[in-house]
Amino acid sequence: MDSEVGPQDKEATMGGTRNSPTLSQASQLFHLSKSSPFSHTANARETLSPGPTPPPEKLPIRRKEAASDTSNSTSDSAGSVFGTDTGSSGSPCSPRSITPHDPTGDFVVPPHAIVLASPTIEGLAEAIQQLKDRFALSKLPKSQYLHVIRLDQALIKRLEDEPDIFRGVRATISHQQAEILYKIMPGLQHEQMIGSFAMCLTEHLVAMGLSHRRGDFMSRQSVRTAGRYCSKEPDWWFGPNNILIDGGGDGDASLILEVGLSEPSGQLKADARWWHSNTGGGTKLVVLIHASHEPIWTVDVEVWSEVDNPRPGAKTREHPAKIMQCTQRAHFENGVVHGGPLTLDFEVLMRRPPRNSHEANVVLDHHDLFCICAEKK
């Protein structure tokens, strides 16, 4: 995996210290058993906590856009974290899943996320490893989420400064609340779907005469991007090379890929909207791949593009002129691709018009989609 280099905000600071559990305590709190991985209560999230801790202090945050912070105080987030009601719909976009000081809903926590409070670095590493071990215990693995709350100031600074400290995870960091949502993915299936998509797109561009080696385009995994209320890592990031080295753009990806395995589709849709709104419209193309084993292997591939906002009214940040919307979709089931092909706009990908007759929109045909969606054994 390439080194994560992105416009991450490193200047957020936190005051105060908290007592954190030892590694042995964390291991006891986060113990896995094959018969019952975690204790459950009806409609409740799995919660790991070493005991009462004070509420988190207010955290200053640098925003991607120059906007004033209207929040003047920070309340304890335990109500939303430890609440047993996820809403009648159970939607990951329900109000209880939104951090109190994030009115945009950028920091979305799925209702099945496991909660870990005030961990040490050793305890956090143990928790992530335990969730990775779940994949080995299950014949039908799915993405796991770990919601880490009440982070110590030294720990969150270390996690920001060392983005590669935990392999095989994606992080969304809420700076104001000192919280992190980790997404832990089933390694082989998840990574091969990302690799297959990247290979198909690259092959089409190479056939047009473009070259990664010549610096026509670049792609990476887990490039952390700072947003208005939180920072986020995608599964895969693509853009023309000059957006970083020649001043030809603002550094935001042209295309983002997000992959989910047996997780709420609403989580991925929220991701698509996040990338558009938090890059000021710089990222205009997001591809979502949602796969599930239940009851059989199926995959939905969606292309989200920037479109005019159909809602009337004055255009503001909360009511922008342009929004992200699913504009194309393909479905894979029983080894057959339904729908498609899917077209990726060349000018959006490369941020320039075609220069010759070879350069054109990238068309992912049924063969490409089969390679991307086929289950990896």
Helices (H), 121-209: 121-137, 153-161, 187-207
Domain ranges, residue 356:
188-373
The amino acid sitting at 137 is L
The number of helices, as runs of H, and strands, as runs of E, in the chain is 9, 16
**Total number of domains constituting the chain:** 2
Tell me: do 200 and 338 sit in the same domain.
yes
Q: Which one has a higher pLDDT value, 347 or 145? A: 347
The amino acid sitting at 371 is C
Max mean pLDDT range (10-19, 42-51, 142-151): 142-151
Domain for residue 16, yes or no? no
Domain for residue 6, yes or no? no
Tell me: do 60 and 166 sit in the same domain.
yes
What's the sign of the alpha-carbon dihedral 31, 125, 168, 47? positive
Tell me: do 309 and 354 sit in the same domain.
yes
Reported confidence tier of residue 374, pLDDT bands at 50, 70, 90: very high
Domain end among 164, 185, 206? 185
Domain for residue 2, yes or no? no
Tell me: do 214 and 276 sit in the same domain.
yes
Is 81 strand, coil or helix?
helix
Over residues 20-35, the pLDDT tens digits come to 333 333 333 333 333 3
Kindly state the DSSP code that residue 166 receives in the 8-state scheme: S
Cβ proximity of 257 and 197 under 8 Å? yes
Domain for residue 41, yes or no? yes
Tell me: do 29 and 109 sit in the same domain.
yes
Q: Are strands 285-292 and 225-226 parallel, antiparallel or unpaired?
A: unpaired
Domain for residue 301, yes or no? yes
Domain for residue 11, yes or no? no
Tell me: do 100 and 219 sit in the same domain.
no
Tell me: do 84 and 137 sit in the same domain.
yes
Tell me: do 95 and 118 sit in the same domain.
yes
Q: Which one has a higher pLDDT value, 277 or 319? A: 277
Is 76 strand, coil or helix?
coil
Cβ proximity of 193 and 291 under 8 Å? yes
State how far the Cα of 234 lies from the Cα of 220, in Å rounded to an integer: 9
Domain for residue 177, yes or no? yes
State how far the Cα of 175 lies from the Cα of 228, in Å rounded to an integer: 10
Please report, in angstroms and rounded to a whole number, the separation of the first and last CA atoms in the chain.
22
What's the pLDDT at 245?
A: 57
What's the pLDDT at 38?
A: 36
